[in-house]
């Protein structure tokens, strides 16, 4: 393992020294999909799929299924926007956000749009989603996906997410699925292991802290902010949430979903964090045979 993962192994074997962590990190991901009820009724799409594929329900999201299909270019349901290939753990943040029809929602780092379309689905296309990304090529992909999957209540912007901090107490709910080192996505592409470095961890941690403060400023009192990443480093996860807790009056809420999880980290690499971060959700790849993921549910008093 040390030969394969190098410095990454040295850092994260302290975090999780189980053989399962590294075995699952090498193991290919199970393919999963989300049924898009903006286009057709849930049962009719499910029945249509079951004529050709084996579906295994994902316990934490009603519309999600593991499927015995890896390539979707020849799948009519995908071409029609009836299903969205989406990693199972990445469906968690919109479930935790729990947006309601008629609300004003900000998806601060939205591209390529899987979570945005899921949010729109829960809102039944009522209300408004501001779907933002800072890179033009990613915005183009986002727009294409919103169009294909029948999202009618989104307005797309191209800004640095920190820009939205000027809109004080504006949004009912905000999703910050933050840019990160993507260690959880090594199962999808080993380039995320090859490109990993501590410099990138420090860089992303700095960006994430800037974004989470801006998101909190833009959140209405009583509103919900969900912070998530697809990585395992505490500097990008617990430390970012702890930073928000120390700088603001933010409150964490416990996330209760039918899945296995790993304990959130209270101390790592000489850094100590608030015991409140125990309310966050930390997923290692072996917990549910998914990507690694981290989710925090934050309420503004």
Cβ proximity of 82 and 36 under 8 Å: yes
Residue 30, C-beta contacts closer than 8 angstroms, at least 6 positions apart: 66, 88, 289, 290
CA-to-CA separations, 100 to 105, 128, 139, 142, 154, in angstroms, rounded? 9, 10, 24, 22, 14
Cβ proximity of 288 and 89 under 8 Å: yes
Sequence-separated contacts (24+) of 4-8 with Cβ below 8 Å: 4/193, 5/193, 7/196, 7/197, 7/198, 8/183, 8/193, 8/196
Task: Please give the sequence-ordered ranges of beta strands (E in DSSP) within the chain, or none if there are none.
Answer: 32-35, 55-57, 64-67, 83-85, 104-107, 128-132, 154-157, 171-177, 219-229, 251-253, 267-268, 271-272, 281-283, 293-299
CA-to-CA separations, 158 to 106, 164, 169, 247, in angstroms, rounded? 13, 11, 21, 27
Q: Which of 128, 180, 230, 280 is catalytic?
A: 230
* DSSP string computed for 271-292: EE--GGGGGSEEE-HHHHTS--
Does the annotation count 128 as an active-site position? no
Q: Which residue has the tokens 């290939």?
A: 85
Instruction: Write out the catalytic residue numbers.
Output: 230
């Amino acid at each position: 393992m040390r030969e394969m993962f190098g410095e990454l192994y040295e850092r994260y074997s302290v975090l999780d020294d189980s053989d399962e962590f590294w075995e699952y990190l090498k193991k290919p991901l199970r393919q999963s999909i989300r049924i898009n009820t903006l286009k057709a009724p849930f049962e009719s799409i499910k029945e249509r799929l079951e004529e050709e594929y084996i579906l295994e329900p994902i316990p934490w999201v009603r519309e999600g299924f593991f499927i015995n299909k890896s390539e979707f270019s020849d799948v009519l349901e995908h071409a029609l926007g009836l299903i969205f290939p989406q990693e199972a753990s990445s469906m968690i943040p919109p479930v935790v956000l729990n947006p309601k029809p008629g609300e004003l929602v900000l998806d601060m780092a939205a591209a390529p749009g899987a979570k945005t379309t899921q949010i729109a689905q829960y809102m039944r296309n009522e209300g408004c989603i501001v779907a933002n990304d800072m890179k033009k090529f990613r915005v183009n992909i986002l727009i294409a996906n919103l169009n294909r999957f029948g999202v009618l209540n989104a307005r797309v912007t191209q800004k640095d997410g920190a820009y939205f901090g000027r809109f004080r107490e504006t949004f009912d709910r905000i999703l910050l699925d933050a840019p990160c080192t993507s260690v959880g996505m090594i199962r999808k592409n080993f380039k995320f292991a090859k490109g990993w470095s501590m410099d990138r961890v420090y860089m992303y941690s700095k960006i994430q802290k800037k974004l989470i403060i801006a998101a909190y400023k833009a959140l209405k009192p009583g509103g919900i902010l969900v912070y998530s990443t697809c990585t395992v480093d505490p500097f990008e996860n617990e430390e970012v949430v702890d930073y928000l807790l120390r700088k603001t009056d933010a409150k964490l809420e416990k996330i209760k979903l039918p899945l296995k999880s790993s304990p959130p980290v209270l101390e790592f690499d000489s850094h100590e964090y608030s015991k409140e971060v125990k309310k966050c959700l930390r997923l290692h790849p072996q917990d549910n045979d998914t990507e690694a993921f981290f989710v925090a549910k934050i309420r503004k008093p």
